[in-house]
């Protein structure tokens, strides 16, 4: 496993659409492990492959609860329900936070890292994280969706 560099604001890869994973091979497994390690090192809740420079439809999410890391390959949001206004940040936009409106609940279909088809019904923070990371896969970053006037920069260590 290795920590990868997280691409930051202004990097054109963040605006590109990721490609479907055709085969879950050893390279994808290494990517997943590296993404998890990178996310944990930076205390992130989620990470999309784009953020480490790989245009593949892979995301990892960890709410730091007893459920462990969620790995989604080729995720598709198939249902959305309700709305929630949330505070959001992003590892690719260090120290920036804003309010954003996300679905309160989502249902997502994807492959897990073993290649099995899974369906997850998520709400609250998990729904928010799934939407945020799927946006990344589509070349959309959170600052594209913020409620105007809510973007804040927080100095590191404060």
Cβ proximity of 107 and 130 under 8 Å: no
CA 29 – CA 41 distance, rounded (Å) = 18
The single residue of 20, 23, 80, 133 carrying the catalytic annotation is 133
Q: Can you say whether residue 53 is alpha, beta or left, with left for phi > 0 and alpha for psi between -120 and 50 degrees?
A: left
Q: Mark whether 133 is an active-site residue.
A: yes
Instruction: Using alpha carbons, list the distances in angstroms from residue 73 to 2, 20, 61.
Output: 20, 8, 12
- Which residues are part of the catalytic machinery? 133
């Amino acid at each position: 496993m290795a920590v990868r560099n997280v691409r930051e604001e202004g990097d054109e890869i963040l605006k590109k659409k990721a490609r479907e994973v055709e085969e879950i091979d050893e390279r994808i497994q290494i990517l997943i492990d590296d993404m998890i390690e990178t996310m944990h090192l930076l205390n992130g809740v989620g990470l999309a492959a784009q953020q480490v420079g790989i245009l593949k439809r892979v995301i990892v999410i960890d709410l730091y609860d007893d459920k462990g890391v969620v790995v989604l390959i080729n995720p598709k949001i198939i249902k959305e329900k309700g709305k929630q206004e949330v505070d959001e940040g992003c590892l690719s936009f260090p120290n920036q936070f804003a309010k954003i409106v996300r679905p309160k609940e989502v249902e997502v279909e994807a492959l897990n890292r073993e290649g099995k088809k899974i369906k997850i019904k998520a709400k609250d923070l998990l729904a928010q994280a799934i939407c945020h990371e799927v946006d990344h896969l589509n070349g959309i970053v959170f600052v594209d969706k913020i409620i105007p006037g809510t973007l804040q920069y927080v100095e590191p260590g404060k």
